[in-house]
């Protein structure tokens, strides 16, 4: 006996829409009584069962129970590996007369893997992929240097002899606080460690160490939900008074401060404790004292020199000055349980005194500096182990590649590829879409990128003939169940259609 057998006839014998997302390899039941089923929309065939009989239906298909009979219950069966989004009209009456009335408006859009229908923002990319033929891959370990630069200054502001204070990350960029000749500065630095601006200069005391984010108020910068420190005092900037103001005296020498929402965490070293304060209305109330001796044992050397909060992952990072071949950073959860430890002392990344200072953890990298070394170098270090598989560059098909120097413009992708070299060409198999887009945009893609790809066309080397073409509909390749697993010879051309939601790995807090 059907579980819908007892469904009563409706009082009003009309029809209505039923929208459902039918997950892959699953069944969805609609408890409704009617005499017709019309498929208004489906992003693929769906099996429909009424009165015990099964039929595959697509957009525009209709089924009726026949004669004066009715059906009780509609069962939708998706026996594919891809979720299907459907809209059915189910009910009574003459469908043409009662359902299709008035104006019909067509709205352009595309379908995502979760069934969402979104605005169409597709754009086609036609690119030439030019690999470095002799490249054999690179293994990146935690702590390896990804880049370095010297803080030698920006026009009119030489910083090579400045005292570096702290590195912080907000608004998508690392920021370095330093002092020189009694003048304080907060420098904005891009991901390639170039100074791209001075966001504030001149109004902090020399002894103040900056923490947390800042925002502009009447031309000055205040620390939103944050504070800064001096000795055993925690202060904040009062834009009305145009100067710093005391928040609280904690009674012990402060090592570092981190802010999480309305709470301020004050690290006291060498006591190896954290004092947690609730901050509101210009005052701070002690909520808890937390022992972090276990963290100190893992770090096992040096003083606890840095302490920062990452709101994206709801984690803290605690660092020491560090010594060679020992971990000098730990990432902990919001209960201060140790999640991961790191060594941040690669060769040539330490100062003359053996100290790495001011590292901040952001995305897949650490940003920091080494005060005391000539020129005050700043560093970008890897926070994850990875393998780079293909190095080269991607240029728009319309670009004059004779103007590109591969030795200078090359980029390495971490796409999962098997690479072989054959007679001056590179044979690559695996994540070709990811590799092509990372070489084209020169930055790593975020996960789930196949739900932003609509078609890909791979060409034969140095020819207009197509080796492989797939997609071409207003449905993402992820929604179609297509994996990024292709094979091609390079140099060659690839055309890819993407949408505006294509995301890259984010670095910021």
User: Domain boundary at 361, 382, 403, which?
Assistant: 382
Per-residue pLDDT tens over the stretch 251-269: 888 877 887 878 888 888 7
CATH, residue 315: 2.130.10.10
More confident residue, 241 or 27: 27
Residues 294 and 150 placed together within one structural domain of the fold: yes
Domain count, the chain: 3
Is 325 a residue whose pLDDT tops 80? no
> In terms of residue numbers, what domain contains 417?
123-136+387-498
More confident residue, 315 or 301: 315
Residues 79 and 159 placed together within one structural domain of the fold: no
In a domain, 4, yes or no: no
Give the list of residues 6+ apart from residue 367 with CB closer than 8 angstroms, or none. Answer: 167, 169, 174, 189, 193, 359, 360, 378, 379, 380, 381
Lowest pLDDT segment from 91-95, 180-184, 200-204, 446-450: 200-204
Strand-pair partners of 215: 222
| Residue keyed to tokens 């297509």 | 482
Question: In 3D, which of 142, 188, 204, 208 has the Cα closest to residue 378?
Answer: 188
- Where helices occur in 20-114 by DSSP H, the ranges are 95-98
Per-residue pLDDT tens over the stretch 340-389: 777 665 444 433 333 445 566 566 677 777 665 556 678 787 777 788 99
In a domain, 75, yes or no: yes
In a domain, 117, yes or no: no
Check: CB of residue 454 under 8 Å from CB of residue 110. Answer: yes
Residues 361 and 395 placed together within one structural domain of the fold: no
Per-residue pLDDT tens over the stretch 430-441: 999 999 999 998
Residues 340 and 409 placed together within one structural domain of the fold: no
User: Domain boundary at 382, 409, 443, which?
Assistant: 382
In a domain, 406, yes or no: yes
Residues 370 and 448 placed together within one structural domain of the fold: no
Residue 248: both structure tokens together: 């609280």
C-alpha span between 480 and 80 (Å, rounded):
10
Check: CB of residue 484 under 8 Å from CB of residue 48. Answer: no
More confident residue, 414 or 380: 414
Q: Please indicate, yes or no, whether the overall pTM of this predicted structure exceeds 0.85.
A: no
Residues 171 and 301 placed together within one structural domain of the fold: yes
Residues 297 and 280 placed together within one structural domain of the fold: yes
Is 161 a residue whose pLDDT tops 70? no
In a domain, 269, yes or no: yes
Residues 351 and 213 placed together within one structural domain of the fold: yes
For the chain, percent helix, then strand, then coil, each to nearest 5?
5, 50, 45
Characterise 452 by phi-psi region: left (phi > 0), alpha (psi -120 to 50), beta (else). Answer: alpha
In a domain, 342, yes or no: yes
What mean pLDDT do residues 468-479 have?
85
Mean pLDDT of the chain: 76
Confidence at residue 303, expressed as pLDDT on a 0 to 100 scale: 64
Residues 369 and 399 placed together within one structural domain of the fold: no
Confidence at residue 361, expressed as pLDDT on a 0 to 100 scale: 59
In a domain, 505, yes or no: no
Residues 160 and 275 placed together within one structural domain of the fold: yes
pLDDT band at 479, cuts 50/70/90? confident
Give the list of residues 6+ apart from residue 328 with CB closer than 8 angstroms, or none. Answer: 299, 301, 302, 319, 320, 321, 322, 342, 343, 344, 345, 356
Residues 60 and 197 placed together within one structural domain of the fold: no
What mean pLDDT do residues 149-159 have?
61
CA dihedral (193, 197, 200, 201) in degrees, to 10, reads: 90
Question: In 3D, which of 352, 444, 461 has the Cα closest to residue 390?
Answer: 444
In a domain, 5, yes or no: no
C-alpha span between 299 and 323 (Å, rounded):
10
Task: Provide the 10 A C-beta neighbour count for residue 125.
Answer: 17
Residues 347 and 427 placed together within one structural domain of the fold: no
């Amino acid at each position: 006996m059907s579980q819908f057998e007892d469904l009563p006839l409706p009082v009003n014998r009309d029809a209505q829409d039923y929208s459902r997302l039918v997950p892959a390899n699953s069944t969805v039941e609609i408890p409704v009584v009617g005499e017709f089923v019309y498929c208004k929309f489906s992003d693929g065939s769906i099996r429909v069962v009424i009165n015990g009989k099964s039929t595959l239906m697509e957009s525009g298909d209709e089924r009726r129970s026949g004669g004066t009979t009715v059906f009780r219950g509609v069962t939708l069966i998706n026996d594919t590996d891809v979720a299907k989004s459907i809209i059915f009209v189910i009910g009574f009456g003459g469908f043409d007369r009662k359902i299709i009335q008035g104006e019909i408006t067509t709205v352009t859009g595309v379908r995502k893997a979760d069934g969402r229908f979104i605005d169409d923002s597709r754009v086609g990319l036609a690119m030439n992929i030019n690999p470095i033929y002799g490249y054999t891959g690179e293994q990146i370990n935690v702590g390896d240097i990804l880049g370095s630069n010297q803080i030698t200054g920006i026009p009119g502001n030489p910083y090579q002899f400045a005292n570096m204070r702290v590195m912080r990350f907000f608004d998508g960029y690392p920021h370095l606080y330093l002092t020189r000749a009694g003048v304080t500065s907060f420098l904005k630095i891009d991901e390639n460690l170039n100074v791209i601006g001075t966001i504030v200069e001149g109004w902090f005391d020399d002894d103040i160490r900056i923490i947390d984010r800042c925002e502009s108020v009447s031309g000055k910068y205040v620390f939103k939900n944050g504070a800064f420190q001096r000795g055993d005092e925690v202060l904040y900037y009062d834009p009305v008074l145009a100067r710093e103001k005391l928040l609280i005296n904690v009674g012990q020498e402060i090592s570092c401060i981190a802010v999480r929402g309305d709470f301020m965490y004050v690290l006291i070293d060498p006591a190896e404790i954290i004092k947690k304060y609730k901050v509101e209305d210009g005052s701070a109330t002690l909520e808890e004292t937390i022992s972090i001796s276990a963290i100190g044992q893992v770090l096992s050397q040096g003083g606890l020199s840095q302490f920062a909060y990452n709101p994206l992952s709801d984690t803290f990072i605690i660092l020491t000055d560090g010594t060679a071949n020992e971990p000098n950073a730990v990432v902990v959860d919001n209960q201060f349980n140790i999640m991961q430890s790191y060594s941040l002392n690669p060769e040539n990344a330490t100062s003359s005194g053996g100290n790495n200072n001011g590292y901040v953890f952001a995305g897949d990298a650490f940003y920091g500096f080494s005060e005391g070394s000539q020129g005050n170098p700043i560093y970008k270090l890897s926070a994850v182990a990875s393998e780079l598989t293909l190095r080269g560059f991607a240029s728009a098909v319309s670009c004059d590649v004779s103007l590109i120097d591969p030795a200078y413009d090359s980029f390495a992708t971490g796409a999962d590829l098997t690479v072989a070299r054959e007679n001056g060409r590179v044979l690559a198999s695996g994540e070709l879409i990811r590799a092509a887009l990372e070489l084209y945009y020169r930055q790593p893609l975020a996960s789930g990128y196949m739900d932003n790809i609509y078609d890909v066309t791979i060409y034969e080397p140095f020819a207009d003939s197509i080796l492989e073409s797939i997609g071409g509909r207003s449905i993402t390749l992820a929604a179609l169940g297509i994996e990024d697993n292709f094979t091609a010879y390079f140099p060659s051309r690839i055309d890819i259609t993407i949408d505006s939601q294509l995301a890259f790995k984010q670095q910021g807090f």
